[in-house]
Every structure is written in structure tokens, then in C-alpha cells.
């Protein structure tokens, strides 16, 4: 997130046309065999994120579920940014304490001087050289599951089980096109026609997901997988941001009973809701997208206490972590500000 003119005062809407996400990412991979020149090595890489961003939120969740906090450190950028990229304005002196940089752009330029595409989070940065390794968020989360297995915690779930990968990939593809990116296609549409098309595509897919999840607790199989992580980070932002700011307003998530119960089930599962900072989420979208929200005013709602109401999804069976165990609480330095979440 951060590409396609994602900047304060920048241009998000494509006048007269459809929003098209720049899908050209840095394709380098960190692998167990190091075939791209970047081997898996604990303590070497730093994951740069913003809690505001749904794509980065996926990596925060997967890292938590797999117990990779000690193997891969995390740099948290603030929720807003300017034309020059995400900044580490939450840290003392506005500088990441490990990488020593004020802006994520510095890590991109260290490897690619004059880098012209989006300075996006999430990104993995090589600490010794200060160079960005990859920002290919979809592959990054899969690689945490498949390439970093030597450093997973005991009891870590298998988020990408081999026997289910084809089905997970199929579900992920349609959820990305119609939901994860679909909300942006509504919000950044530059014509009524483009908006109408994106709106119907989004809610048709949410109806499809409702049917799928009415009789099963998780999207694929009996346990949490990568597919659930990817859908969750959009659903958790739906009412605070996408319903109003992006005009995705056929219903609120709270008015879609199956998906609302599914989202609450995941939210109260360790590793999911404890990564979500609603304040950062709202400040990012409403303050950064000034061509949609020129005043930069951030809504005070919605009330978040209903996230903790009983969801009843246990009756569908399924075990969140299969034969594994929930992750322990986040390290103190990585806990979400209690004022920004209903979780206590």
C-alpha cells in the first residue's frame, strides 16, 4: 500500500475511469536456500509495516501466528504519510531505531537509486545493508509460512497446507480481485459507470462469501489459513472506512450477519484482533486521501464495543489452530494502544 499516488494531497481517483492497482512489485524472495541471494536468517531482516494498511496487516498477523517475532523484527510507520513515503514518526526523533532512517523510501533508494514506483508497505529490509529486499506482499506472507519453517514457534498453525493450496489460491484470487482490491475500485472510481460496476462486483462477492461461510467456520478447510487472513484485513476496515469513505454502502458489515459473525470470530482469535489499530486505520484513509475527503476530518465512529459480542461460530465446528496452539500475547513493544482497540 502506498503506490498509485497514495500520498497526502496526491491523486487517487482516475478521472473518468477505473482504478487500476500497480501490481509491479520487487519480486526478490527470501528463501531457505537463498536462491535470490537473500537466505532465511533470523535477526537479519526487518519487516516495515503500517498498522493502517490492510496489506501490511496481513504480514503482522502471519508473523504473530507463526511466532516469528524473534526471527524478524518489525518497524512500524505512522498512519499518515506525505508524497515522499511512509515515515517513522512514531519513533523517538522520527527515526526507526534499527534501520536509522526517517522514511521507508531510504531503504528503497539504498537498493534502487531513483526508484520510481510506489514506496509501499509491507516491505522486508536487509538490516546489514539497509536495502529493501521485497515488497511483494502476497508472496511475502506465503514465504513466511513455507520458507521460515525452521523458526516457527512450537504449535504454529499451517496457514498454507499443501493439500489445500490450489483451493486457497483460487479463493484468494477472487477475494483479491473483488473484495480486497474491490473496495479501492469503488473508492477511487473516476466515473459513475466505473463505480457502479465495482460496487456490484464487490457486493456480489460478499454475497458469495456469505453463502460459503454460512455452513463452514473458515474459508478453506477446518482451520485458519492464509485465505482467512486476507479476507479479515478488509472486513475489519469495512465499517470504519470502506462503507463511508469508499462508498461501499449497500450494507455495513454489521448488517451482513454471517460475515459479521465470521469477522468477530477471527477478531477475538489471538493473532488477529490484537494487531488491529482502528485509530491508525481511520487516520490513514481520511487524512491521506484528500481528493476524496478534502477536509481531512476523521470520523469519531463507529462504536467498536460490538466487536466483542458473542459470534456463535464455534457451533460450525473447526479448530482455529488445528493441532497447534494460539500464539502468546504480543511482545509489550508491539501491543496496540489500548485506546485504539476494544480488546483489553
Q: Model confidence at 344, in pLDDT bands (50, 70, 90)?
A: confident
What pLDDT was estimated at residue 11? 65
C-alpha to C-alpha distances, 207 to 42, 170, 202, 342, nearest whole angstrom = 42, 17, 9, 27
Report the alpha-carbon distance of residue 222 to residue 108 in Å, rounded: 40
pLDDT at residue 3 above 50? no
Judge whether 33 and 127 are in contact, CB under 8 Å.
no
Among the listed residues 25, 108, 151, 184, the single catalytic one is 184
H/E stretch holding 12:
none
Strand order in the sheet with 73-77: 73-77, 45-50, 123-126, 131-134
How is residue 180 written as a grid cell? Answer: 480486497
Average pLDDT across the chain, whole number: 94
Tell me: the pLDDT tens digits for 151-209? 999 999 999 999 999 999 999 999 999 999 999 999 999 999 999 999 999 999 999 99
Task: With a cut of 50, say whether residue 280 has pLDDT above it.
Answer: yes
Q: What interhelical angle do 137-146 and 54-66 show, nearest 10?
A: 0
| Residue 17: predicted pLDDT | 75
pTM of this structure: 0.95
Q: What is the pLDDT of residue 9?
A: 42
Which pLDDT value is given to residue 21?
75
Cell digits of residue 152: 516457527
Catalytic residue among 12, 25, 45, 53: 53
Read off the pLDDT band of 6 (50, 70, 90): very low
- Beta-sheet strands, E only, within 4-161: 45-50, 73-77, 81-82, 85-86, 123-126, 131-134
Residue 53 among the catalytic residues: yes
186 is catalytic: no
Q: What is the pLDDT of residues 36-94, one digit of tens each?
A: 999 999 999 999 999 999 999 999 999 999 999 999 999 999 999 887 789 999 999 99
Q: Which position has the higher pLDDT, 12 or 231?
A: 231
Amino acid at each position: 500500500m502506498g503506490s498509485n499516488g497514495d500520498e497526502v494531497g496526491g491523486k487517487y481517483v482516475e478521472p473518468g475511469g477505473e482504478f487500476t492497482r500497480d501490481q509491479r512489485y520487487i519480486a526478490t524472495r527470501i528463501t531457505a536456500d537463498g536462491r535470490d541471494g537473500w537466505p532465511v536468517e533470523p535477526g537479519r531482516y526487518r519487516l516495515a509495516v503500517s498498522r493502517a494498511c490492510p496489506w501490511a496487516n496481513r504480514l503482522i498477523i502471519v508473523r504473530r501466528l507463526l511466532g516469528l517475532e524473534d526471527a524478524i523484527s518489525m518497524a512500524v510507520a505512522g498512519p499518515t504519510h506525505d508524497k515522499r513515503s511512509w515515515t517513522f514518526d512514531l519513533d523517538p526523533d522520527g527515526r526507526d531505531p534499527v534501520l536509522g532512517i526517517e522514511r521507508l523510501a531510504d531503504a528503497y533508494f539504498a537498493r534502487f537509486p531513483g526508484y520510481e514506483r510506489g514506496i509501499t508497505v509491507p516491505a522486508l529490509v536487509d538490516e546489514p545493508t539497509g536495502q529493501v529486499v521485497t515488497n511483494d506482499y502476497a508472496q511475502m506472507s506465503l514465504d513466511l509460512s513455507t520458507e521460515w519453517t525452521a523458526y516457527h514457534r512450537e504449535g504454529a498453525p499451517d496457514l498454507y497446507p499443501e493439500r489445500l493450496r490450489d483451493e486457497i489460491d483460487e479463493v484468494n484470487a477472487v477475494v483479491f480481485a473483488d473484495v480486497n482490491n474491490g473496495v479501492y475500485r469503488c473508492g477511487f472510481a473516476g466515473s459513475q459507470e466505473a463505480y457502479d460496476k465495482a460496487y456490484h462486483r464487490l457486493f456480489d462477492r460478499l454475497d458469495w462469501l456469505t453463502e460459503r461461510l454460512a455452513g463452514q467456520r473458515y474459508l478453506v478447510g477446518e482451520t485458519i489459513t492464509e485465505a482467512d487472513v486476507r479476507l479479515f484485513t478488509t472486513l475489519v476496515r469495512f465499517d470504519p472506512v470502506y462503507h463511508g469513505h469508499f462508498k461501499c454502502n449497500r450494507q455495513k458489515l454489521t448488517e451482513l450477519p454471517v460475515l459479521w459473525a465470521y469477522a468477530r470470530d477471527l477478531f477475538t482469535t489471538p493473532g488477529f484482533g490484537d494487531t488491529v489499530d482502528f485509530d491508525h486505520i481511520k487516520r490513514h484513509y481520511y487524512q491521506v486521501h484528500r481528493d476524496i475527503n478534502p477536509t481531512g476530518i476523521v470520523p469519531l465512529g463507529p462504536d467498536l464495543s460490538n466487536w466483542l459480542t458473542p459470534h456463535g461460530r464455534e457451533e460450525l465446528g473447526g479448530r482455529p489452530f488445528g493441532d497447534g496452539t494460539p500464539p502468546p500475547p504480543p511482545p509489550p513493544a508491539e501491543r496496540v494502544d489500548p485506546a485504539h482497540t476494544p480488546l483489553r
